Amino acid sequence: MENVVVHIISHSHWDREWYLPFESHRMQLVELFDNLFDLFENDPEFKSFHLDGQTIVLDDYLQIRPENRDKVQRYIDEGKLKIGPFYILQDDYLISSEANVRNTLIGQQEAAKWGKSTQIGYFPDTFGNMGQAPQILQKSGIHVTAFGRGVKPIGFDNQVLEDEQFTSQFSEMYWQGVDGSRVLGILFANWYSNGNEIPVDKDEALTFWKQKLSDVRAYASTNRWLMMNGCDHQPVQKNLSEAIRVANELFPDVIFVHNSFDEYVQAVEGALPEHLSTVTGELTSQETDGWYTLANTSSSRIYLKQAFQENSNLLEQVVEPLTIITGGHNHKDQLTYAWKTLLQNAPHDSICGCSVDEVHREMETRFAKVNQVGNFVKSNLLN
């Protein structure tokens, strides 16, 4: 029997705005990138960093550190910095269907400017997942998705319901959309922080890994196990290489490797059992009271939901059709800017209305900008 291989993926789940306003979180982001780049330069064993599936964080960083653009490009070219495929990490349900599609389209366009994109449909903390996601992913050339919510009702303490209430026995499954499109789904069954802050002290590491390996074993369908080395706004672990060496010494029958998501997916796809469960349609942990997918945020600060829909309607149902009818194709850049600005209000901590007041005041300013651009282009086309 082959040894278990533990794939450790470094990341930081980046909510652009949440318990702090955007600019405060951005200052943390600058520190994260600066420390990460130092690690890339000084530790050849630190192989890669998953940039949370959203390209916008590159823009956020480079607005503060424009002199590092070439450095960012080099790390992407070398495969150390893993970007894309989305523009932001959106809430599926509280934005328009077109906005969901544009987020993927713009994200892939932005990633293409840098040359490489990770082809993982990444929904780590989305408050439930819509049934059209597999269809959008397949149409975009993406065949694998990773998500944290919507299948097994699991809390942060790894307490779960009884097995017979699970939608899938394993953390690996197939997810079939409403149109029949199917992707491989990888559930963060022990959350996307199950490999966070790995100890280097041998006694602490022994205790840590005994528990963590047991947790992963409970849901894994293969002997290729996923450990997510990071969490929300988590700084990069600077001594990770040492921690991995300690783990390999303590558990000689287990192989611990620092890997990218693409490498992990390639490994797990080659080891999948013949039969996996297929989950269908939307994933909202339907058997629960909705707490796990934070369903009550659907009615929080309802004016934000209304403003998003109004601005989305302006762009997709008024301005863009007028552009086609009048042949006004020279407005493409303005409309791309408007869509990007609108999508900056689409992350779950933003559109769900569950952040500090400063966040939602800034959202209103973004909505106003979208409205101004949209109405200017509309007037220009009609005159």
Confidence band (pLDDT; 50, 70, 90) for 289? Answer: low
- Verdict on whether the full-model pTM lies above 0.75: yes
Are 58 and 30 spatial neighbours (Cβ–Cβ below 8 Å)? no
Quick check: 343 and 87 in contact, CB under 8 A? yes
Across the range 23-34, mean pLDDT stands at 99
Q: What is the pLDDT of residue 116?
A: 85
Where residue 51 falls among pLDDT bands split at 50, 70, 90?
A: very high
pLDDT, mean of residues 14-22: 98
Instruction: Please name which of 2, 10, 22 lies closest in space to residue 263, comparing C-alpha atoms.
Output: 10
Residue 284: pLDDT band (50, 70, 90) is: confident
What CATH superfamily is the domain 4-280?
Glycoside hydrolase 38, N terminal domain (3.20.110.10)
pLDDT digits (tens, 9 = 90+) for 201-248: 999 999 999 999 999 998 999 999 999 999 999 999 999 999 999 999
d(CA 331, CA 375): 12
- Dihedral sign (CA 264, 266, 271, 272): positive
Residue 45 has pLDDT above 70, yes or no: yes
Q: What is the pLDDT of residues 167-194, one digit of tens each?
A: 678 899 999 999 999 999 999 988 999 9
Average pLDDT (249-269) is 97
Domains 4-280 and 295-376 share a fold: no
Indicate the domain borders of the chain. Answer: 4-280, 295-376
Burial 70-94 (b: 16+ CB within 10 A, else e): eebeebbeeebbbbbbbbbbbbbbb
User: What is the distance between the alpha carbons of residues 47 and 262, in angstroms, rounded to a whole number?
Assistant: 13
List the structure tokens of 81. Answer: 């910095």
pLDDT reported for residue 275: 87
CATH, domain range 295-376? 1.20.1270.50
Q: What is the pLDDT of residue 167?
A: 67
Lowest mean pLDDT among 45-59, 84-98, 144-158, 252-266: 144-158
**Residues with a known catalytic role:** 125
CB-based contact 125:192 (threshold 8 Å): yes
Backbone angles phi, psi at 381, to 5 degrees: -70, -30
Q: Name residue 183's beta-bridge partners.
A: 175
* Dist. CA 366–CA 300, nearest whole Å: 19
